[in-house]
Amino acid sequence: MSKNFVLSCESTVDLPYSYISGRDIDVLFYTYTVDGVEYDDDMGRDPNALDRFYGFLNDGKFPTTSQINVYKYSDYFESLLNKYEDDIIHIAMGSGMSPSVNNAIEAAESLKEKYPDRSVKVIDSLCSCGGYGILVDLAADLRDEGKSFAETVEWLENNKASIHHQFFSTDLKYFKRSGRVSGATATVATILGICPIMHLNSTGHIIAYDKVRGKNKAIKTTVETMLSDIEEGADYEGKCVLCHSNCIDLAEETIALIKKTFPKLPEVKLSNIGTIIASHTGPGTVALFFVGKPRVGLD
Protein backbone atom coordinates (compact mmCIF):
# COMPACT_ATOMS: atom_id res chain seq x y z
CA MET A 1 0.00 0.00 0.00
CA SER A 2 1.28 3.44 -0.89
CA LYS A 3 2.50 5.68 1.92
CA ASN A 4 2.14 8.85 -0.22
CA PHE A 5 5.89 9.17 -0.86
CA VAL A 6 9.25 7.43 -0.59
CA LEU A 7 11.67 8.71 2.03
CA SER A 8 15.42 8.66 1.43
CA CYS A 9 18.53 9.88 3.23
CA GLU A 10 22.30 9.47 3.37
CA SER A 11 24.44 7.33 5.65
CA THR A 12 25.59 10.34 7.67
CA VAL A 13 22.35 10.26 9.69
CA ASP A 14 24.54 8.17 12.03
CA LEU A 15 21.75 5.92 13.23
CA PRO A 16 22.08 2.15 12.74
CA TYR A 17 21.13 0.87 9.31
CA SER A 18 18.89 -1.71 11.00
CA TYR A 19 16.82 1.13 12.48
CA ILE A 20 16.68 3.25 9.32
CA SER A 21 15.81 0.34 7.04
CA GLY A 22 13.28 -0.86 9.59
CA ARG A 23 11.48 2.44 9.12
CA ASP A 24 11.32 1.89 5.32
CA ILE A 25 13.87 4.60 4.58
CA ASP A 26 16.27 4.15 1.67
CA VAL A 27 19.93 5.11 2.13
CA LEU A 28 22.69 6.40 -0.11
CA PHE A 29 26.11 5.58 1.36
CA TYR A 30 29.06 7.92 1.61
CA THR A 31 32.55 6.41 1.42
CA TYR A 32 35.97 7.19 2.86
CA THR A 33 39.38 6.26 1.49
CA VAL A 34 42.56 5.03 3.19
CA ASP A 35 45.69 4.03 1.25
CA GLY A 36 43.75 4.15 -1.99
CA VAL A 37 41.09 1.71 -0.77
CA GLU A 38 37.46 2.88 -0.55
CA TYR A 39 35.25 1.86 2.38
CA ASP A 40 31.52 2.37 2.91
CA ASP A 41 30.18 4.50 5.72
CA ASP A 42 28.86 1.27 7.16
CA MET A 43 26.07 2.27 9.61
CA GLY A 44 26.72 -0.81 11.71
CA ARG A 45 26.13 -3.45 9.04
CA ASP A 46 29.62 -4.88 9.52
CA PRO A 47 30.47 -5.29 13.23
CA ASN A 48 34.17 -4.91 12.44
CA ALA A 49 33.88 -1.67 10.44
CA LEU A 50 34.40 0.80 13.30
CA ASP A 51 37.29 -1.15 14.82
CA ARG A 52 38.99 -1.13 11.39
CA PHE A 53 38.38 2.61 11.05
CA TYR A 54 39.84 3.49 14.47
CA GLY A 55 42.71 1.11 13.74
CA PHE A 56 43.56 3.34 10.79
CA LEU A 57 43.56 6.40 13.05
CA ASN A 58 45.72 4.67 15.66
CA ASP A 59 48.20 3.83 12.91
CA GLY A 60 48.41 7.51 11.95
CA LYS A 61 46.45 7.08 8.73
CA PHE A 62 44.10 9.95 7.93
CA PRO A 63 40.95 8.91 6.05
CA THR A 64 39.85 11.17 3.22
CA THR A 65 36.23 11.86 2.37
CA SER A 66 34.59 13.51 -0.60
CA GLN A 67 31.18 14.73 -1.61
CA ILE A 68 28.79 12.47 -3.51
CA ASN A 69 28.91 13.44 -7.17
CA VAL A 70 26.00 14.14 -9.52
CA TYR A 71 26.34 10.82 -11.32
CA LYS A 72 26.08 8.76 -8.14
CA TYR A 73 23.02 10.73 -7.05
CA SER A 74 21.45 10.33 -10.51
CA ASP A 75 21.95 6.56 -10.51
CA TYR A 76 20.59 6.32 -6.98
CA PHE A 77 17.51 8.45 -7.65
CA GLU A 78 16.77 6.59 -10.88
CA SER A 79 16.97 3.28 -9.02
CA LEU A 80 14.34 4.58 -6.58
CA LEU A 81 12.12 5.84 -9.39
CA ASN A 82 12.24 2.40 -10.98
CA LYS A 83 11.71 0.58 -7.70
CA TYR A 84 8.75 2.60 -6.41
CA GLU A 85 5.64 4.20 -7.89
CA ASP A 86 5.52 7.14 -5.49
CA ASP A 87 7.39 10.45 -5.52
CA ILE A 88 10.58 10.76 -3.49
CA ILE A 89 11.69 13.05 -0.69
CA HIS A 90 15.45 12.86 -0.30
CA ILE A 91 16.77 14.55 2.83
CA ALA A 92 20.45 15.35 2.32
CA MET A 93 23.22 16.06 4.81
CA GLY A 94 23.31 19.78 5.53
CA SER A 95 25.12 22.17 3.23
CA GLY A 96 27.04 23.56 6.20
CA MET A 97 28.87 20.24 6.43
CA SER A 98 29.11 19.22 2.77
CA PRO A 99 28.30 20.75 -0.63
CA SER A 100 26.95 17.35 -1.77
CA VAL A 101 23.37 18.59 -1.49
CA ASN A 102 23.98 20.83 -4.52
CA ASN A 103 24.89 17.76 -6.55
CA ALA A 104 21.74 16.03 -5.32
CA ILE A 105 19.60 18.95 -6.48
CA GLU A 106 21.32 18.94 -9.89
CA ALA A 107 20.78 15.20 -10.24
CA ALA A 108 17.10 15.50 -9.37
CA GLU A 109 16.67 18.25 -11.97
CA SER A 110 18.41 16.14 -14.64
CA LEU A 111 15.84 13.36 -14.26
CA LYS A 112 12.77 15.55 -14.83
CA GLU A 113 12.75 15.14 -18.61
CA LYS A 114 13.03 11.35 -18.41
CA TYR A 115 10.45 11.08 -15.62
CA PRO A 116 8.06 14.02 -16.26
CA ASP A 117 5.30 12.58 -14.07
CA ARG A 118 7.52 11.89 -11.07
CA SER A 119 9.10 14.15 -8.47
CA VAL A 120 12.37 13.89 -6.56
CA LYS A 121 12.48 16.63 -3.93
CA VAL A 122 15.84 17.26 -2.28
CA ILE A 123 15.83 18.87 1.17
CA ASP A 124 18.94 20.57 2.55
CA SER A 125 18.63 19.33 6.13
CA LEU A 126 21.00 21.94 7.64
CA CYS A 127 21.81 19.04 9.96
CA SER A 128 24.47 16.41 10.48
CA CYS A 129 25.04 13.18 12.38
CA GLY A 130 22.31 12.32 14.91
CA GLY A 131 20.51 15.64 14.37
CA TYR A 132 20.16 14.70 10.72
CA GLY A 133 18.91 11.33 11.97
CA ILE A 134 16.24 12.99 14.11
CA LEU A 135 14.98 15.05 11.16
CA VAL A 136 14.72 11.96 8.94
CA ASP A 137 13.01 10.04 11.77
CA LEU A 138 10.46 12.84 12.19
CA ALA A 139 9.79 12.79 8.43
CA ALA A 140 9.11 9.06 8.68
CA ASP A 141 6.64 9.78 11.51
CA LEU A 142 4.79 12.24 9.27
CA ARG A 143 4.74 9.76 6.38
CA ASP A 144 3.37 7.02 8.61
CA GLU A 145 0.70 9.38 9.94
CA GLY A 146 -0.51 9.79 6.35
CA LYS A 147 0.83 13.27 5.64
CA SER A 148 1.13 14.11 1.97
CA PHE A 149 4.31 14.72 -0.01
CA ALA A 150 3.64 18.49 -0.03
CA GLU A 151 2.73 18.64 3.67
CA THR A 152 5.91 16.80 4.64
CA VAL A 153 8.15 18.97 2.45
CA GLU A 154 6.62 22.10 3.97
CA TRP A 155 7.06 20.79 7.51
CA LEU A 156 10.69 19.87 6.88
CA GLU A 157 11.54 23.27 5.46
CA ASN A 158 9.81 25.05 8.35
CA ASN A 159 11.24 22.91 11.16
CA LYS A 160 14.70 21.69 10.13
CA ALA A 161 16.43 24.57 11.93
CA SER A 162 14.82 23.47 15.20
CA ILE A 163 17.01 20.37 15.43
CA HIS A 164 19.83 21.25 17.83
CA HIS A 165 23.39 19.91 17.69
CA GLN A 166 25.39 20.35 20.92
CA PHE A 167 28.79 18.73 21.18
CA PHE A 168 32.24 18.81 22.66
CA SER A 169 35.52 17.06 21.95
CA THR A 170 38.48 16.08 24.07
CA ASP A 171 40.79 16.17 21.02
CA LEU A 172 40.53 18.92 18.38
CA LYS A 173 43.36 17.62 16.18
CA TYR A 174 40.93 16.30 13.58
CA PHE A 175 38.62 19.32 13.75
CA LYS A 176 41.67 21.49 13.04
CA ARG A 177 42.88 19.28 10.20
CA SER A 178 39.50 19.39 8.44
CA GLY A 179 39.08 23.13 8.99
CA ARG A 180 36.00 22.68 11.18
CA VAL A 181 37.60 24.82 13.90
CA SER A 182 40.45 27.31 13.62
CA GLY A 183 44.01 26.33 14.29
CA ALA A 184 44.22 28.93 17.06
CA THR A 185 41.19 27.46 18.85
CA ALA A 186 42.60 23.93 18.63
CA THR A 187 46.07 24.97 19.81
CA VAL A 188 44.84 26.93 22.83
CA ALA A 189 42.46 24.13 23.80
CA THR A 190 45.26 21.55 23.68
CA ILE A 191 47.71 23.64 25.70
CA LEU A 192 45.23 24.55 28.43
CA GLY A 193 43.32 21.27 28.57
CA ILE A 194 40.14 23.05 27.53
CA CYS A 195 37.09 21.47 25.86
CA PRO A 196 35.40 23.89 23.45
CA ILE A 197 31.60 23.64 23.49
CA MET A 198 30.24 23.68 19.96
CA HIS A 199 26.97 23.71 18.08
CA LEU A 200 25.65 24.06 14.56
CA ASN A 201 24.33 27.53 13.82
CA SER A 202 21.24 28.39 11.78
CA THR A 203 23.06 27.69 8.50
CA GLY A 204 24.44 24.36 9.70
CA HIS A 205 28.04 25.44 10.32
CA ILE A 206 30.11 24.51 13.38
CA ILE A 207 30.56 27.30 15.89
CA ALA A 208 32.76 26.96 19.00
CA TYR A 209 30.85 29.32 21.28
CA ASP A 210 32.14 28.47 24.78
CA LYS A 211 35.04 26.71 26.44
CA VAL A 212 35.36 24.86 29.71
CA ARG A 213 38.13 23.07 31.55
CA GLY A 214 37.65 19.32 32.00
CA LYS A 215 35.29 16.64 30.77
CA ASN A 216 32.81 16.84 33.65
CA LYS A 217 32.29 20.54 33.07
CA ALA A 218 31.88 19.89 29.34
CA ILE A 219 29.12 17.38 30.02
CA LYS A 220 27.39 19.69 32.49
CA THR A 221 27.53 22.70 30.14
CA THR A 222 26.25 20.65 27.19
CA VAL A 223 23.21 19.40 29.12
CA GLU A 224 22.52 22.84 30.66
CA THR A 225 22.52 24.32 27.17
CA MET A 226 20.03 21.68 26.05
CA LEU A 227 17.77 22.72 28.93
CA SER A 228 17.90 26.38 27.91
CA ASP A 229 17.28 25.61 24.22
CA ILE A 230 14.03 23.68 24.72
CA GLU A 231 10.65 25.40 25.01
CA GLU A 232 9.34 22.81 27.49
CA GLY A 233 12.47 22.90 29.63
CA ALA A 234 12.82 19.89 31.92
CA ASP A 235 9.41 18.60 30.78
CA TYR A 236 10.80 17.74 27.32
CA GLU A 237 9.48 14.42 25.97
CA GLY A 238 10.69 14.61 22.36
CA LYS A 239 13.36 12.82 20.39
CA CYS A 240 16.87 12.76 21.76
CA VAL A 241 19.98 11.15 20.26
CA LEU A 242 23.46 10.93 21.79
CA CYS A 243 26.31 10.00 19.45
CA HIS A 244 29.96 9.46 20.30
CA SER A 245 33.25 8.70 18.57
CA ASN A 246 34.93 5.86 20.43
CA CYS A 247 34.33 7.30 23.92
CA ILE A 248 31.50 5.23 25.37
CA ASP A 249 32.27 6.17 29.00
CA LEU A 250 31.84 9.89 28.26
CA ALA A 251 28.66 9.13 26.33
CA GLU A 252 27.16 7.13 29.19
CA GLU A 253 28.03 9.84 31.73
CA THR A 254 26.29 12.39 29.50
CA ILE A 255 23.20 10.20 29.14
CA ALA A 256 22.98 9.78 32.91
CA LEU A 257 22.88 13.56 33.38
CA ILE A 258 20.35 13.97 30.53
CA LYS A 259 18.00 11.46 32.16
CA LYS A 260 18.37 13.18 35.53
CA THR A 261 17.69 16.61 34.01
CA PHE A 262 14.78 15.48 31.81
CA PRO A 263 12.83 12.90 33.86
CA LYS A 264 9.97 12.71 31.32
CA LEU A 265 12.25 11.86 28.42
CA PRO A 266 11.19 8.40 27.20
CA GLU A 267 14.49 7.52 25.52
CA VAL A 268 17.98 8.74 24.77
CA LYS A 269 18.99 6.86 21.64
CA LEU A 270 22.71 5.99 21.81
CA SER A 271 24.61 5.62 18.55
CA ASN A 272 28.11 5.77 17.12
CA ILE A 273 29.34 8.73 15.13
CA GLY A 274 29.84 7.18 11.71
CA THR A 275 33.09 6.96 9.81
CA ILE A 276 32.47 10.00 7.59
CA ILE A 277 31.80 12.41 10.46
CA ALA A 278 34.47 10.73 12.62
CA SER A 279 37.02 11.28 9.85
CA HIS A 280 36.67 14.98 10.72
CA THR A 281 36.16 14.74 14.49
CA GLY A 282 38.47 11.90 15.38
CA PRO A 283 37.88 10.02 18.65
CA GLY A 284 36.67 11.70 21.84
CA THR A 285 33.62 13.61 20.56
CA VAL A 286 30.24 13.50 22.30
CA ALA A 287 27.31 14.97 20.38
CA LEU A 288 23.81 15.59 21.72
CA PHE A 289 20.79 16.15 19.45
CA PHE A 290 17.24 17.22 20.26
CA VAL A 291 14.30 19.34 19.06
CA GLY A 292 14.24 22.84 20.49
CA LYS A 293 13.75 26.51 19.73
CA PRO A 294 14.71 27.59 16.20
CA ARG A 295 18.48 27.93 15.73
CA VAL A 296 18.00 31.37 14.13
CA GLY A 297 20.67 33.81 15.28
CA LEU A 298 23.09 31.29 16.78
CA ASP A 299 26.65 32.30 16.01
- Which structural domain, as residue segments, surrounds residue 261? 162-291
Domain identity same for 169 and 155: no
Q: What pTM does this model have?
A: 0.94
Q: Is residue 204 part of a domain?
A: yes
Which of 114, 140, 160 delimits the end of a domain?
Answer: 160
DSSP 69: P
Q: Are strands 163-169 and 31-34 parallel, antiparallel or unpaired?
A: unpaired
The type of residue at 73 is Y
CATH of the domain at 174: 3.30.1180.10
Considering only CA atoms, which of 99, 94, 106, 123 is closest in space to residue 13?
Answer: 94
Domain identity same for 29 and 143: yes
DSSP 121: E
Which of 94, 125, 160 delimits the end of a domain?
Answer: 160
Q: What is the pLDDT along the chain (299 residues), one digit of tens a residue?
A: 347 899 999 999 999 999 999 999 999 999 999 999 999 999 999 999 999 999 999 999 999 999 999 999 999 999 999 999 999 999 999 999 999 999 999 999 999 999 999 999 999 999 999 999 999 999 999 999 999 999 999 999 999 999 999 999 887 666 666 555 556 565 555 555 688 899 999 999 988 888 898 899 999 999 999 999 999 999 999 999 999 999 999 999 999 999 999 999 999 999 999 999 999 999 999 999 999 999 976 66
Which ranges constitute the DSSP H helices of the chain?
Answer: 17-22, 49-58, 70-83, 100-110, 129-144, 149-159, 173-178, 183-192, 215-228, 248-261, 275-281
